A and B are shown apart, each in its own frame.
Chain A
Amino acid sequence: MLVVAFVSFSLFTFVGDPINNMVGEETSEKERAELRVTLGLNDPIPVQFVRFIKNASKGEFGISYQLRRPVSELITERLPATLELVFVSAIIALTAGILLGVYTGINRNSFTSNIILGVSLLGVSLPTFVIGILLIYLFSVILGILPSFGRGEVVDLGFWKTGFLTLSGLKAIILPSITLSLFQMTYIIRLVRAEMMEILQTDYIKFARARGISENKIQYRHALKNGLIPVITIAGINIGTLVAFSIITETVFQWPGMGFLFIQAVKFVDIPIMSAYLVFIAFIFVMINFIVDILYYFIDPRIRIKGTE
């Protein structure tokens, strides 16, 4: 986390002159100098860093260059949208991915498996934005049943504005979440399949067969349990990737989330937003890694209990 904070901070300080970006052309030199002092830009670097951390933990990230509003406000406004989108996509990707992966892993050469694999390969080759455009074209332009942009109506729950509780909100989330999840889903399918195929060739599976244990039990109790272990790590990383890819989906569907904000920030070199986004993302990733580690601990007894070797 600290590393990321430092990177954010350096972005802030060194990339471009903040003053130039913040004020207009007409401001005089004297006013600029005054502004520098007020903002504490003349203080030594370590002091600035500490101040940055203090502010960050309080949720203050300064003011957006471009939009002239406090960054923290912007983020809290947009956060729920992104999180809801990621949540739904993650569920879709994981459930479908694992189910299909197991199926194709067990029935290696069946016709259905090959079709699923072919489609999954296609899925990996389709960039997210192409999928989005395709879906929009199909469902919005031609069929006209689903909205092509925006979030629909939201219900204000105080600090969180959710789109789950309205019909239009639910309708609106369908296309973007499918788009977002497709890429990850195909990846998970291939991973789970590879794992299952490898496990089904191990000695302990052979030994279980030799003891007369039914094929079903072997596949689901023995193979799957072992196969899911690496999938957990990947799932963790996946959620992170989903958050990042949401940038693209949000752009295509004009979904008012953090990703959309970030892209604008990059285009206009709006440093405060960029660094704040970084910190947030890093925080989310660290949390995810942490949870994954804990899950691992519970699932794999080899990590929990020391062996005798």
Chain B
Amino acid sequence: MQNQNLSLINKIIDSDIFFSFKKSPTAIISSLILLIIFFCSFFVEIIAPYNPFDPSSLSLMDAFTPPSWSEGGTRNFLLGTDGQGRDMLSTILYGSRISLIVGFSAILFSLILGVTLGLTAGYFGGRYEMFVMRITDVQLTIPSILMALLVDGIARGIISRELHDQMAIYVLIFAIGISEWPQFARVSRAATLVEKNKDYVSASTIIGVSNLMIMLRHILPNILRPILVIGTIGLALAIIAESTLSFLGVGVPPTTPSLGTLIRIGNDFLFSGEWWITFFPAIFLVLLAFSINLLGDWMRDTLNPKLK
């Protein structure tokens, strides 16, 4: 057993993927940044200097404090405070957690739904495939923002207001997830079609392996690469989507603000000079998305054998 683990690590280190990872400074930097962000969001209760949602810790006297390095700022509030006296750094960390949770869950949902439908469509073909692909095509012409907005709007119509606020996060995850699944379906189907025509699939059929086993054991592992690339980019898109919806006011409820909500709130103060309230959440959001995209880009270039 020991030997197997060692050899696995050796294999990873020796592999082409790790080699280009080491060689690419962008990949290393972006993964580092992401790791830090993930870590902070996960352990936010320990790391954040304050809990911005505890009303008792807030004092209006602290409101509108500029960041610590500019005039009027204090060390207590590193990035300044907002209109309610909440510490910017803390709110950003809490907010990024929300953004990450929604983003990840939505993409996971999308991935599972899309890959299942795409794989089966590609494998079985026939009317079923045509049907699934038609839906995919139709939905792909509708931009995802619109889709998410629609789903959210319908949800608001169906569920009462209070319940909606409670369930907002789930609705949001569902809405964004629904808007992104066609991408996964399309890529999965295309990759499945390529694999399906390869002889090893025929060989397994001739041996007598069941369709389900072939799809799980043979096709799925071989189509994971492009799915991973789309997944990473989709994650960035999902996070941006969530922040956009929150910015527009139809995302997470104000009690659990995400980065988008913070930007919206801060926008109102832009003209009166308190730029930091909107600026820092925005930078954080962009940093997050940018790192994910960098990583996704690097992945796409490494995993694509053609573009050398």
Q: Do the two chains touch directly in the complex (Cβ atoms below 8 Å apart)? A: yes
B263-303, CB under 8 A of A: which get 1 and which 0? 10001001100010010001001100110111001000000
What residues of B have a CB within 8 angstroms of the CB of A299 in the complex?
Answer: none
User: Do B138 and A251 touch (CB < 8 A)?
Assistant: no
The docked-state distance in angstroms from the alpha carbon of A251 to that of B244 is 11
B246-275, CB under 8 A of A: which get 1 and which 0? 011110000000001001000100110001
User: Do A129 and B244 touch (CB < 8 A)?
Assistant: yes
User: Do B141 and A240 touch (CB < 8 A)?
Assistant: yes
Whether, in the assembled complex, B157 has its beta carbon less than 8 Å from a beta carbon of chain A, the answer is yes
User: Do A133 and B142 touch (CB < 8 A)?
Assistant: no
A267-305, CB under 8 A of B: which get 1 and which 0? 101010010001001000100010000000000000000
What is the chain A residue whose CB lies nearest that of B239?
Answer: A127
User: Do B307 and A198 touch (CB < 8 A)?
Assistant: yes
Interface residues of B in 208-262 (CB under 8 A from A): 236, 240, 243-244, 247-250, 260
User: Do B307 and A269 touch (CB < 8 A)?
Assistant: no
User: Which A residues are within 8 Å of any B CB, using their own CB?
Assistant: 3, 11, 15-16, 121-122, 124-130, 133-134, 136-137, 141, 194, 197-198, 201, 237, 240-241, 243-245, 247-248, 251, 262-263, 265-267, 269, 271, 274, 278, 281, 285, 289
The docked-state distance in angstroms from the alpha carbon of A298 to that of B40 is 55
What residues of B have a CB within 8 angstroms of the CB of A269 in the complex?
Answer: 153, 156-157
Known contacts A16-B157, A266-B250: A128-B141 contact under CB 8 Å: no
Known: A11-B157, A121-B294, A127-B260. 5 other contacts (CB 8 A): A15-B158, A127-B244, A245-B145, A248-B244, A262-B149
User: Do A248 and B145 touch (CB < 8 A)?
Assistant: yes
- Min CB distance B261 to A, Å, is 12
User: Do A15 and B282 touch (CB < 8 A)?
Assistant: no
The docked-state distance in angstroms from the alpha carbon of A62 to that of B282 is 40
Q: Is chain A's binding surface mostly helix, strand, loop or mixed? A: helix
What residues of B have a CB within 8 angstroms of the CB of A285 in the complex?
Answer: 141-142
User: Do A266 and B290 touch (CB < 8 A)?
Assistant: no
- Min CB distance A67 to B, Å, is 16
Known contacts A240-B143, A241-B143, A266-B149: A133-B248 contact under CB 8 Å: no
User: Do A137 and B275 touch (CB < 8 A)?
Assistant: yes
Q: Which among A244, A266, A267 is the interface contact of B143 at CB below 8 angstroms?
A: A244
B60-95, CB under 8 A of A: which get 1 and which 0? 000000000000000000000000000000000000
What residues of B have a CB within 8 angstroms of the CB of A243 in the complex?
Answer: 143
The docked-state distance in angstroms from the alpha carbon of A245 to that of B249 is 15
The docked-state distance in angstroms from the alpha carbon of A128 to that of B141 is 19
User: Do A247 and B263 touch (CB < 8 A)?
Assistant: no
Q: Which among A133, A194, A244, A267 is the interface contact of B282 at CB below 8 angstroms?
A: A133
For chain B, which range describes its interface: under 10, 10 to 19, 20 to 34, or 35 or more residues? 35 or more
- Min CB distance B194 to A, Å, is 16
User: Do B289 and A127 touch (CB < 8 A)?
Assistant: yes
What residues of B have a CB within 8 angstroms of the CB of A278 in the complex?
Answer: 150
User: Do A266 and B145 touch (CB < 8 A)?
Assistant: no
Whether, in the assembled complex, B146 has its beta carbon less than 8 Å from a beta carbon of chain A, the answer is yes
What residues of B have a CB within 8 angstroms of the CB of A130 in the complex?
Answer: 263, 282, 285-286
- Min CB distance A263 to B, Å, is 6
Known contacts A133-B263, A269-B156: A125-B282 contact under CB 8 Å: no
User: Do B307 and A126 touch (CB < 8 A)?
Assistant: no
The docked-state distance in angstroms from the alpha carbon of A120 to that of B249 is 28
What residues of A have a CB within 8 angstroms of the CB of B180 in the complex?
Answer: none
What residues of B have a CB within 8 angstroms of the CB of A141 in the complex?
Answer: 270-271
Whether, in the assembled complex, B127 has its beta carbon less than 8 Å from a beta carbon of chain A, the answer is no
User: Do B140 and A15 touch (CB < 8 A)?
Assistant: no
What is the chain B residue whose CB lies nearest that of A183?
Answer: B240
A-B contact pairs, 30 of them (CB 8 A): A3-B138, A16-B158, A121-B294, A122-B290, A124-B289, A126-B286, A126-B289, A127-B243, A127-B244, A127-B260, A127-B285, A127-B286, A129-B244, A137-B270, A137-B275, A141-B270, A141-B271, A237-B141, A244-B143, A247-B145, A247-B146, A247-B149, A247-B248, A248-B145, A251-B247, A267-B249, A269-B157, A281-B142, A281-B146, A289-B141
Known contacts A121-B290, A121-B293: A127-B240 contact under CB 8 Å: yes
What residues of A have a CB within 8 angstroms of the CB of B156 in the complex?
Answer: 266, 269
The docked-state distance in angstroms from the alpha carbon of A269 to that of B250 is 11
What residues of A have a CB within 8 angstroms of the CB of B244 in the complex?
Answer: 127-129, 248
- Min CB distance A81 to B, Å, is 18
- Min CB distance A80 to B, Å, is 20
User: Do A125 and B286 touch (CB < 8 A)?
Assistant: yes
User: Do A124 and B236 touch (CB < 8 A)?
Assistant: yes
What is the chain B residue whose CB lies nearest that of A244?
Answer: B143
What residues of B have a CB within 8 angstroms of the CB of A201 in the complex?
Answer: 306
Q: Which among B142, B247, B282 is the interface contact of A240 at CB below 8 angstroms?
A: B142
User: Do A198 and B240 touch (CB < 8 A)?
Assistant: no
What is the chain A residue whose CB lies nearest that of B294?
Answer: A121
- Min CB distance A147 to B, Å, is 13
Q: Which among B143, B247, B271 is the interface contact of A129 at CB below 8 angstroms?
A: B247
User: Do B248 and A248 touch (CB < 8 A)?
Assistant: yes
User: Do B289 and A251 touch (CB < 8 A)?
Assistant: no
The docked-state distance in angstroms from the alpha carbon of A3 to that of B142 is 13
What residues of B have a CB within 8 angstroms of the CB of A128 in the complex?
Answer: 244
The docked-state distance in angstroms from the alpha carbon of A201 to that of B308 is 10
The docked-state distance in angstroms from the alpha carbon of A1 to that of B242 is 28
What is the chain A residue whose CB lies nearest that of B141?
Answer: A285
Q: Which among B145, B278, B294 is the interface contact of A244 at CB below 8 angstroms?
A: B145
- Min CB distance A228 to B, Å, is 19
